[in-house]
């Protein structure tokens, strides 16, 4: 048991979510919320100031998003302990966050006990991945399997663009678009454009504004 509670930096842009997390964590003797940030920029500033034991990070943030913030923190502080707590449930989001240096990934339906367990586990230098996250990662079709052009085409497909529209926007022939679309469907294992679009959004390969 720690003599002193762990210093936690809470990074969450929604006020009510911060209040809820504060109420859960402040009741634990092992935890002390040392600072709160509403954006990636604030998180970077506060991290350098307080050097937290563990950072609790949302991914959807104004300005610098959570992914960029994780990367920036880890670039400067290689031993940073970061727990992701987010609504993003796509396998690509999970993979990207972990690749950038997060040590735990929880969705916002996690229980208070699970959150505490993740914080303590990560502080001990061990990754914490719930079964649901591990299952998602095992099913992942890497976005890296798509070429940059295929990713552009897939993004436009999710926006409801026709082959002709895509060709016009990317300045390529409609026949070339059809070839890219066919390749995208094969790589994602999708039967049609609609299924490919749904999969891309659900897995975090494409984020719509």
What are the residue boundaries of the structural domains of the chain, listed by start?
A: 6-138, 143-202
What token pair was written down for 39? 């954006």
In the DSSP assignment, the letter for residue 125 is T
Note the pLDDT tens digit of each residue in 46-74: 999 999 999 999 999 998 999 999 999 99
Is the overall model pTM greater than 0.85, yes or no?
no
Q: Which helix (H) or strand (E) holds 34?
A: strand 31-37
SS3 36: strand
For the domain covering 6-138, report its CATH number. 3.40.50.2300
pLDDT > 70? residue 3: no
Handedness of CA 157, 160, 163, 166 (dihedral sign): negative
For the domain covering 143-202, report its CATH number. 1.10.10.10
Interior/surface letters 92-112, b for 16+ CB within 10 angstroms, e for the rest: bbbbbbbebbbbbbbbeebee
Percentage of the chain with pLDDT > 90? 68
In the DSSP assignment, the letter for residue 63 is S
Note the pLDDT tens digit of each residue in 86-133: 998 888 899 899 989 999 999 998 999 999 999 999 999 999 999 888
């Amino acid at each position: 048991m720690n003599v002193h509670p762990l210093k936690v930096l809470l990074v969450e842009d929604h006020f009510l979510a911060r209040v809820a997390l504060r109420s859960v964590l402040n009741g634990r003797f092992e935890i002390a919320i040392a600072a709160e940030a509403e954006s990636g920029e604030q998180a970077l500033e506060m991290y350098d100031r307080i050097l937290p034991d563990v950072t609790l990070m949302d991914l959807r943030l104004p300005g610098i998003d959570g992914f960029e913030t994780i990367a920036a923190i880890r670039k400067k502080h290689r031993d940073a302990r970061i727990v992701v707590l987010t609504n993003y449930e796509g396998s690509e989001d999970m993979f990207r966050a972990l690749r950038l240096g997060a040590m735990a990934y929880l969705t916002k339906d996690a229980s208070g006990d699970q959150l505490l367990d993740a914080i303590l586990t990560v502080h001990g230098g061990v990754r914490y991945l719930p079964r649901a996250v591990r299952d998602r990662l095992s099913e992942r079709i890497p976005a890296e399997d798509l070429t940059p052009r295929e990713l552009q085409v897939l993004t436009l497909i999710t926006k409801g663009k026709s082959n002709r529209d895509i060709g016009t926007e990317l300045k390529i022939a409609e026949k070339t678009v059809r070839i890219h679309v066919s390749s995208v469907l094969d790589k994602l294992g999708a039967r049609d454009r609609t299924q490919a679009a749904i999969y891309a959004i659900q897995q975090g390969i494409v984020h719509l504004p």
